[in-house]
Structure 1
Amino acid sequence: MAVSVTFNEDRLAEQAAETVRALVADGVHERLAAGDAALWGEEARAEAAVRLGWLTLPLTSRELLPEIGILVERARAQGLDHVVLAGMGGSSLAPEVICTTADVPLTVLDTTDPAQVRRALADRLERTIVVVASKSGGTVETDSHRRIYEQAFRDAGIDPAERIVVVTDPGSPLEQAAIEAGYPVILADPNVGGRYSALSAFGLVPSALAGADVLKLLDDAAAVQPLLAQAEGNPGLELGAALGAAALAGRDKLVLEDSMSEINGLPDWIEQLVAESTGKSGKGILPVVGADPNDSDDELVAGIDSDGSVTVAGPLGAQFLVWEYATAVAGRVLGIDPFNQPNVTESKENTNRLLAAGELPVGAPALVDGPVEVYGEGLEDAKDLSEVFTRLLQDIPDDDGYLAVMAYLDREAAFDVPVAEDASFEAMTDAWSAADPATLRGLLAVRTDRPVTFGWGPRFLHSTGQYHKGGPQNGVFLQITGAVEADLEVPGKPYTLGRLQMAQALGDQGALTGRARPTVRLHLTDRAAGVARLLAAAREV
């Protein structure tokens, strides 16, 4: 089954058709299928020339299957049924969608929160296999996870070479370190950027180890691939034209809806792909995940097998390829390079400087409301946390603004809340929701007609973080950090995970405030009580 793109709105259909005609007149469909790096302008040519390998992954990735099959057989023979993926951004989001959709268990570590990492370490270490995935080979979060697991395996009398698999690009420092340590290494296509790597080794290796059918994934993608060279009946061209044309017309908030889809979590992957690819040079398309539409003039609702202004239907492997193609086309329409990420490094560099400088400059709170410290300019006269929220919502530009909530916390902590053994599913979900920082997004969203997004830090830094800093100057930002009760050393490094996590938050805050983008940080001195206070204060707005 291939992917279908259906327009449920006449205006959008007309805009998309007009844009498709212009693209076809320029031969974009043929040029992109042929890997023409000049499609995005002379400045983007060098980057694009080494970033178009994703176009052929449905065929070329099949070469990896025998090697992956050997890894899977070895893991099964050793009884290793707890698969942990240490990866960030493009190295983690696609496998998470693949495995959730296939209903196979995968523990994803894309965090620097000590409690979340400790939870993974405590889970069946004797039956754990770890996939360490990093394109550059120098991702600080992934390097930290590798070091921590190496130490944990050694402490348990387990040879790390029997439990760690590495996925990276040829020639990366991680490849060399893995060879020296005796770890199996599967090399990815170096001509594929991280967010376009769903059908590469980064998507396939952890998913196959977890039990997903990766051959079907490639088959479904291969079925749609021939359509992407056509002028007519080309779902990628139609979708990309719609995204680009709508954004140019002011509809640059992409609300992703998947309530009817059998694919689980695809909007989270699309969020990174679209935001990081388009959010630069003061332009961009902002994906909005897990939210109801506000029916505002700047929204475009895209349904994954669901109703929307445009509906995109089809199996997961084909969806991956079509959305990648569409994002590249939207970049052409918007006049940006969809393959670079010029502002992602800034927060990384800020983090490194802070880690090297000694004591972290957390500053003094402008306000303390119970277990919540409030940091931000001009808030000294705020009477409580509810007023802080009110001011943040008022600061959002009326016509095109948005609020981004960014939580540097343990995204699984809510599930630790005790519930009665005989509790109904509704009672359990209510208890979890009442302890989940992500609930804040919905509480604030109903109090504004502007989009409210939510991201877990530092996961979002490899995703929407590019849009936050490189996109339009219309965002308001709310950070949430928390006190660390039981920190975790990073072997061989002069910092702990907790220190790294706080440095990442402060580093990104510096990048945002340096661009005069309104930013408030809430620090929870007691995490559980702090989350409860956040949610209560939001209800008081």
Structure 2
Amino acid sequence: MTSVVTAGGVSVTLRGEVVAEAEAVSGRLVSDGVPAALTAKNAQLWGPDATAEAARRLGWLDLPESSRALLPDLAALVAETRAAGLDRVVLAGMGGSSLAPEVITRTAGVELTVLDTTDPQQVRAVVSDRLERTVLVVSSKSGGTIETDSHRRIFEQAFRDAAIDPAGRIVVVTDPGSPLEAAATEAGYRVFLADPEVGGRYSALSAFGLVPAALAGADVATLLDEAAALSPMLAQPYDNPGLTLGAALGAAALGGHDKLVIADAGSGIVGFGDWAEQLIAESTGKEGKGILPVVVEGPEAPGFEPADDVRRVVLGASPGGPDAAEMSVSGPLGAQFLLWEYATAVAGRVLGINPFDQPNVQESKDNTAALLRGTEEGAEPTVVSGEPVLTVGAVEVHGPAELLGGAGDLTGALEAVLAAVPDRGYLALLAYLDRSADADVAGLRPLLAVRAGRIRKSPVPVTFGWGPRFLHSTGQYHKGGPQNGVFLQITGAVAEDVPVAGRPYSLGQLQLAQAFGDLRALRSRGRPAVRLHLRDRAAGIAELLAALS
């Protein structure tokens, strides 16, 4: 059985038993008047406990029209920067402030350098590249994001050291009244204020998505046009692709299919799965419930196989056949941003959770702050992990001896981690490394998925996240979602650290504190977690890949 809903430039296709599941849920949602109530911004849709939060988090529904007010100022800013010879754009932002602009610019084929890391090696490489031609966008909703504040301070120092006035090089995007707005105004930076009634992960079509993308050369007006074409369809009870997708996602999770494996099949949109991952995981992963997005390399990649606890979605045209994905979604980027935001809000209603809060994100931040306080006296952040259980070549293995089961080599240690994943659970691979120079570490994801199938005789969903950016994304699900995850964290030696101007800590200390802080948060909840520390990054990654090959 196949069902296709096409409207507003997007198409949602459901196959097999998902069709009946989604139709049953859609029928209840229509009976409850959800489509019209959601587009009318009825904050009571998610229950009394969520009403106050939802009442100030539904501005994303207006963005296809309200964000058009930004376009004249953006055009003027682009003209000014180009006239000044500034043709390299760097974005300092985390989570919702970085993921959407990255998708927009990669899809448009224009250059945007995204800094959503605290890795000293990666930050040093970005700061030292074409500084004389660089404009920096500092993007933070709260205005107090520690990673973004550190990037701003490092760039300010670099500009001054190069006899460049930062006031002509830094553009700030933040919410009205944030501490960043006050600091930026005092420093003479250009400031764009975002809609405060839009949460970070729903902000793709707000100033957070549009300002850096426009500066880099993307056509952001077309994004708004694409979203505006879909917007009226979302109020309809029938032929509503957003309602269909949201009902399918919510029904799948209620039925025990709470892993959503995402693969691209020629959608023409680059990196959309990473954006959707944050939206879905952070919105639904709480109160022991949630939908875990698992982004894989393509429909043929390990991890895309059918499984009892999995539903699969293809971005683009899904190939047919008996193993065709249960869902496929196609359409232009601007419309897809709005489609998935709407569908995620609907799925939250189906699951009975508040899709607009992130109650478990703060704990890792608090742990990081506590660890960093010791740096004021020059101390190195520490964690209660003791000596490594095992050292092989360039890799140290830290973790509970009972979990590692007396493993004597890296293959044994990795297989012990996989064996610890419970039935219907998952493995999260979390790399606090350089996303550019250490990119090969991402190759561990498909290898671990293959090895899991061999030793367990059934698929194990394996996710991959770069630290600390996943803390603003799947980190909420890791701590607030179902108690069925096992965590493999990877840290690496820092050859040359980067000081943070005006702060008592360096980037290396901050990165380590973030890794240790999240490790503590996971272990405090009884989540099994192992840390692999690479004493030499290149050698350690090669040894890990070899252990699974």
Instruction: State the distance in 1 between where 2:177 and 2:294 align.
Output: 36
Whole-angstrom distance in 2 between the partners of 1:321 and 1:3 = 12
Distance across 1 between alignment mates of 2:286 and 2:99: 21
- Looking at structure 1, the residues matched to 9 and 342 of structure 2 have their Cα atoms a distance apart, in angstroms, of 12
Instruction: Report what 1:518 is aligned to.
Output: 528
Deviation (angstroms), 1:390: 0.8
| 1:63 matched residue in structure 2 | 69
SS at match of 2:117: coil
Structure 1 residue 481 corresponds to structure 2 residue 491: yes
Q: Does 1:408 align with 2:432?
A: yes
**What SS does structure 1 have at the residue aligned with 2:181?**
helix
Q: Secondary structure of the equivalent of 1:437?
A: helix
Provide the residue aligned with 1:447 in structure 2. 451
**2:207: which partner in 1?**
201
Report the CA distance shift for 1:17/1:3 in structure 2 as closer, same or farther (over 3 A): farther
The answer on 1:331 being equivalent to 2:356 is no
TM-score, normalised via structure 2 length: 0.93
Q: Which residue of 2 aligns with 1:340?
A: 357
Equivalent-residue separation in structure 1 for 2:275 and 2:470 (angstroms):
11
Contact in 1 for aligned 2:10/2:336 (Cα 8 Å): no
How many Å separate the matches in 2 of 1:205 and 1:32? 27
Kindly provide the amino acid, as one letter, of the partner of residue 444 in structure 1. Answer: L
Deviation at 1:3, TM superposition (A): 4.0
Asked whether 1:305 is paired with 2:316, we answer: yes
- Say whether the 8 Å CA contact 1:5–1:239 is kept in structure 2: no
> 2:330 is aligned with what amino acid?
A
Residue deviations 1:18-39, cap 9 Å, x none? 1111001101011101000000
Instruction: Name the structure 1 match of 2:422.
Output: 397
Contact 1:366 1:375 in 2 (8 A): yes
What RMSD over aligned residues (CA atoms) do the two structures have, in Å?
Answer: 1.1
Aligned equivalent of 1:374, options 382, 389, 397 = 397
Q: Please name the residue that 2:168 is paired with.
A: 162
For the 8 Å contact 1:374–1:523, the answer to whether it is kept is: yes
Q: Tell me which of 434, 438, 445 is aligned to 2:442.
A: 438
Aligned to 2:388: 365
- Kindly state the Cα deviation for residue 380 of structure 1 after the two structures are TM-superposed: 7.7
2:148 maps to amino acid? T
2:479 is aligned to 469
Does the CA contact (< 8 Å) of 2:10 and 2:230 recur in 1?
no
Alpha-carbon displacement from aligned partner over 1:302-342 (angstroms, at most 9, x marks no partner): 11113121111110000000100000000000000000000
State, as a whole percentage, how many aligned pairs show the same letter: 66
Alpha carbons of structure 1 residues 328 and 8: separation in structure 2 relative to 1, 3 Å: closer
Number of residue equivalences: 518
Q: 1:179-229 CA deviation, whole Å, 9 max, x = no partner?
A: 000000000000000000000000000000000000000000000000000
Cα drift, residue 359 of structure 1: 3.1
Question: Is 1:321 aligned with 2:331?
Answer: no
Structure 1 contact 29–237 (Cα < 8 Å) conserved? yes
Q: Is the 8 A contact 1:294 1:450 kept in 2?
A: no
Q: Amino acid of the residue matched to residue 369 of structure 1?
A: V
The aligned residue for residue 41 of structure 1 is 47
Determine helix, strand or coil for the equivalent of 1:165. strand
- In structure 2, the partner of 1:214 is 220
Superposed CA offset, 1:430-483 (max 9, x none): xxxxx7110111111111211100000001000000000000000000000000
**Which sections of structure 1, spanning at least 5 residues, go unmatched?**
415-434
**Does the residue aligned with 1:43 lie in a helix, a strand or coil?**
coil
Gaps of 5+ in 2: 1-6, 319-324, 453-458
Partner of 1:297, secondary structure, is coil
The 2-side partners of 1:298 and 1:405 are apart by 19
Shift of 1:8: 4.0
- Call closer, same or farther: CA 1:287–1:3 in 2, change over 3 Å: farther
TM-score (norm 1): 0.94
1:470-497 Cα deviation digits (max 9, x unpaired): 0000000000000000100000000000
Q: How far is the alpha carbon of 1:9 from its aligned partner? A: 1.6
- Greater shift in the superposed pair: 358-367 or 168-177: 358-367
The residue correspondences of 1:136-215 to structure 2 (distance < 5 A) are 136-215=142-221
Select 1:105's aligned residue among 89, 111, 114: 111
Task: Kindly provide the CA deviation profile for residues 257-280 of structure 1, in whole angstroms up to 9, marking residues without a partner as x.
Answer: 112211111111000000000000
Query: Which residue does 1:494 correspond to in 2?
Result: 504
2:532 is the alignment partner of 1:528? no
- Structure 2 residue corresponding to 1:288, chosen from 288, 294, 309: 294
Distance 1:374 1:11 in 2: 43
Contact 1:3/1:312 (<8 A) preserved: no
Query: Does 247-256 or 160-169 show the bigger shift?
Result: 247-256
Give the AA of the match of 1:401.
G
Per-residue CA shift, 1:46-104, capped at 9, x if unaligned?
10000000001000000111111111111110111110000000000000000000000
How far apart in 2 are the matches of 1:456 and 1:366?
24
Please report how far the alpha carbon of residue 116 of structure 1 lies from its aligned counterpart in structure 2 after TM superposition. 0.5
Distance in structure 2 (CA, Å) of the matches to 1:380 and 1:305: 43
Distance 1:517 1:390 in 2: 17
**SS at 1:446's partner residue?**
helix
Q: CA deviation at 1:5?
A: 3.7
Instruction: Check the 8 A contact 2:10/2:332 in 1, yes or no.
Output: no
